[in-house]
Chain A
Amino acid sequence: MAAGLVGVLGFFFLALRTDIGTGGLDLTYRWGLWFISIAIAFGGRLLLNLFVFNRAKPIASGIKISLPAGAISAGSRVLGPFLLLVALTLPFIVMAVYPDRDRQFIDLAILIMTYVMLGWGLNIVVGLAGLLDLGYVAFYAVGAYSFALLAQYFDIGFWMALPLAGLLAATWGIILGFPVLRLRGDYLAIVTLAFGEIIRVVLLNWYDFTGGPDGISGIPKPSFFGLDFTRTGGFAEFFGIDYDSIHRFIYLYYIILLLALITNFVTLRLRKLPIGRAWEALREDEIACRSLGINTTNTKLTAFSIGAMFGGFAGSFFATRQGFISPESFTFLESAIILAIVVLGGLGSQIGVVIASVVMIGGIEILRNLGFLKEIFGPDFEPTQYRMLIFGLAMVLIMVWKPRGIISSRNPSAVYKERKKIGSDMVAQGEGH
């Protein structure tokens, strides 16, 4: 059955290949590939039926695996500080363990932390306030471009531009949010998506101001209290250590770690404030919220603008890390990845976001480096082109496996008498309006 399906589906893509030849399009036949894929699907399905489905049913229905509740909460209590400790000491661990590839690993860590920060920022909007935002990358772009343009036209450094970029992104959040927040659910989603595309198209076509598809290059690097990371007269000379280009990477890593921790701290504190409570109430039930006298428009606007502000911070960090930005970096795919991180991690869960970004972003990068597969499948085999395919499949599989994300239970923010954990089946949130 499955094999037949693969045969039908794959017929036009695996068996036939359209190529541009002389005088138009040519068609090549690849029957071998087609038959192999059918055989693989047949075999895979047979094995699955024989070993997984037959055995799993009687056992799984009989025994219900349940960890004691205390173990889970203790685990998550320890996990947070543990991850923090790892994050703080990461550059030194990496330098000690992989001295020859340290730059690559720290670069990867910076990338992951950027996504953690973006995930935490979006978590405010989607996870706490329950507003489905498909255009979060717009604020990321606003942050990046405002720093790049400020640096280009007014020669402003990173630390000066950072608050300005956040402020600008927050302003854009309000400008966008004000008219559209009356919309509900999917209408809001599509308008935010449209907004993200509008920003990208404007950046792409406003050639005189933003450089269009060429982007902006030569964005200044951040300085350490006025000390640059250059070969002479900079950071290394001031502290009397040997110059090493790795210093700048470590410094960048700590900047993004600091920014991400600020995001996390602010979010955690905001959840305890009336505004945070109002967000969560809004997510659970908007009508009840309104009848209790909460100004839903203001509540949504603050969620939107604070989320946007953190997006802006992350954006200007991205600009300074890359040194070059172009509209190519701010496509819908980025929004989708950030949203996927938030949802896969479990909405509203801070640690879930960390785990999801390590898995997703780290996973992508690992797939990029699978050189050994080349030796198995021959020199024509290019593993990098499969990484987005695998990324997409992983998204589908994780979601099917755990529809509520990796960390699906949640501590209530407000407690009455005793603190209970809310299981995922009890949480009816995520309505997105």
Chain B
Amino acid sequence: MEYFLQQLINGLTLGSIYGLIAIGYTMVYGIIGMINFAHGDIFMVGSFIALATFLALVALGISALPLILFITLLVSMLFTSAWGWTVERLAYRPLRGSFRLAPLITAIGMSIVLQNFVQITQGARVKPLPPQIQGGVTLIEGVTENGTIAVQLSYMQMIIIATTLALMIGFSLLISKTSLGRSQRACEQDQKMAALLGVNVDRTISLTFVMGAALAAVAGFMFLLLYGVIDFYIGFLAGVKAFTAAVLGGIGSLPGAMLGGLLIGLIEVFWSGYFSVEYKDVAAFSILVIVLIFMPSGLLGKPEVEKV
């Protein structure tokens, strides 16, 4: 039971990170209907920026840890958004209105570019960062035949889950209440009509990429803090998992992406906790295949209506 609870907490933490990345996929897909393959690499770029900022701040002699973390978060969100905007501007906007596979190919190309750019400028070796936030609270202590097992909720995990919750609430409000959110929803339904009614479609799409990139930066920073190890290749697997999460939850739906992220995180952690670590990816992907066979539009997605 204690083991189960511990795994649950770990799974929720990992799932929050996947969920944050998945939101970027799902928003872009909702608006322009393309798989943004470079999004995983935007996440990777975000975590590298966070690492560099963190080290620079430490080198500047700022000692208050919460301040450092806060500034790092803001800086990485800002700069990663600039990356997201640029990728959209360079690789996707020229192909707006062209046929569907073209932006997919440029996305794959962009992903290769980003990976290799980071590899060349930052080196191919793994960057370890020692854990910064230590300690936690013990929730339950149980006695088993092997000794005591304590269910730990570390401060790190608390921060991750709390930040994710706050961002989720913030983004839901942004989408449902502000004029930007209104124009996003309008573009999602019908771009041409939205343009006729005076919505700046290009600007809305750019802002969507910016928002997705900012969330990916948050996820990247948390990934860095949680695992303490990053390299230029983390973007691919995280991206695929997050996309899986977005599809699982029903692509195009924000709560769906979060739910899908949490599910993928939980499946992965439970599978590696109870069965085998090697096949955790297989488990996550198999669940995806099974869900899609029985619910082709995901858990919370709207079924697609075919029109002739």
Contact = CB atoms under 8 A, between A and B. Distances in A.
A183 interface: yes
A336 interface: yes
B198 interface: no
A430 interface: yes
Interface in A22-40: 24-27
B113 interface: yes
B94 A336 contact: no
Contacts of B86: 5, 9
A404 interface: yes
Interface string A1-37: 0000100110111101111100011110000000000
A58 B128 CA distance: 55
A8 B79 contact: yes
A256 interface: no
Nearest to B126: A20
Contacts of B282: 198, 201-202
Contact of A191 (B82, B236, B288, B308): B288
Contacts of A392: 109-113, 116
B127 A25 contact: yes
Contacts of A205: 278-279
A194 B288 contact: yes
Interface stretch (B13-21, B45-53, B161-169, B180-188): B45-53
Contacts of B53: 12
A404 B296 contact: no
Contact of A12 (B52, B113, B247): B52
B45 to A, nearest CB: 8
Nearest to A386: B120
Contacts of B306: 287
Contacts of A325: none
Contacts of A428: 99
Given A201-B279, A386-B120, A340 B251 contact: no
A187 B292 contact: yes
Interface string B34-53: 01000000000000110111
Interface in A339-393: 339-340, 343-344, 347, 385-386, 388-389, 391-393
B105 A190 contact: no
B292 A332 contact: no
Interface in A385-433: 385-386, 388-389, 391-396, 399-400, 403-404, 428-432
A334 to B, nearest CB: 12
B90 interface: yes
B296 A182 contact: yes
B98 interface: yes
Interface of A: prevailing SS: helix
B296 A391 contact: no
A18 B94 contact: no
A205 B110 CA distance: 30
A27 B52 contact: yes
Interface residues of B, number: 66
Contacts of B111: 392
A17 B123 contact: yes
Contacts of B296: 182-184, 187
B142 to A, nearest CB: 32
Nearest to A206: B278
Interface in B77-123: 79, 82-83, 86, 90-91, 94-95, 98-102, 104-106, 108-113, 115-123
Contacts of B108: 336, 339-340, 395
Interface in A74-108: none
A186 interface: yes
A180 B48 CA distance: 37
A396 B113 contact: yes
B288 A18 contact: no
Interface in A202-222: 202, 204-205
Contacts of B247: 186-187, 190
A157 B306 CA distance: 50
A198 B244 CA distance: 13
A388 B95 contact: no
A403 B95 contact: yes
B39 to A, nearest CB: 13
B129 interface: yes
A184 B306 CA distance: 11
B122 A18 contact: yes
A288 B104 CA distance: 26
A293 interface: no
A10 to B, nearest CB: 8
B289 A191 contact: yes
B238 to A, nearest CB: 13
B240 interface: yes
Interface in A301-358: 332-333, 336, 339-340, 343-344, 347
Given A388-B112, A396-B106, 16 more contacts: A8-B82, A9-B86, A13-B118, A14-B121, A197-B285, A201-B278, A201-B282, A205-B278, A287-B308, A332-B236, A339-B105, A388-B115, A393-B113, A394-B109, A396-B109, A430-B100
Interface of B: 29, 35, 48-49, 51-53, 55-56, 59, 79, 82-83, 86, 90-91, 94-95, 98-102, 104-106, 108-113, 115-123, 125, 127-130, 236, 240, 243-244, 247, 251, 278-279, 281-282, 285-286, 288-289, 292-293, 296, 304, 306, 308
20 contacts: A12-B48, A12-B52, A17-B123, A25-B55, A126-B101, A180-B293, A190-B288, A194-B244, A195-B285, A195-B289, A198-B282, A198-B286, A204-B278, A205-B279, A385-B120, A392-B112, A392-B116, A400-B91, A403-B102, A429-B99
Instruction: Sort A-B residue pairs by CB-CB distance and give the 3 closest, nearest first.
Output: A395-B109, A392-B112, A392-B113
Interface of A: 5, 8-9, 11-14, 16-20, 24-27, 126, 132, 179-180, 182-184, 186-187, 189-191, 193-195, 197-198, 201-202, 204-205, 287-288, 332-333, 336, 339-340, 343-344, 347, 385-386, 388-389, 391-396, 399-400, 403-404, 428-432
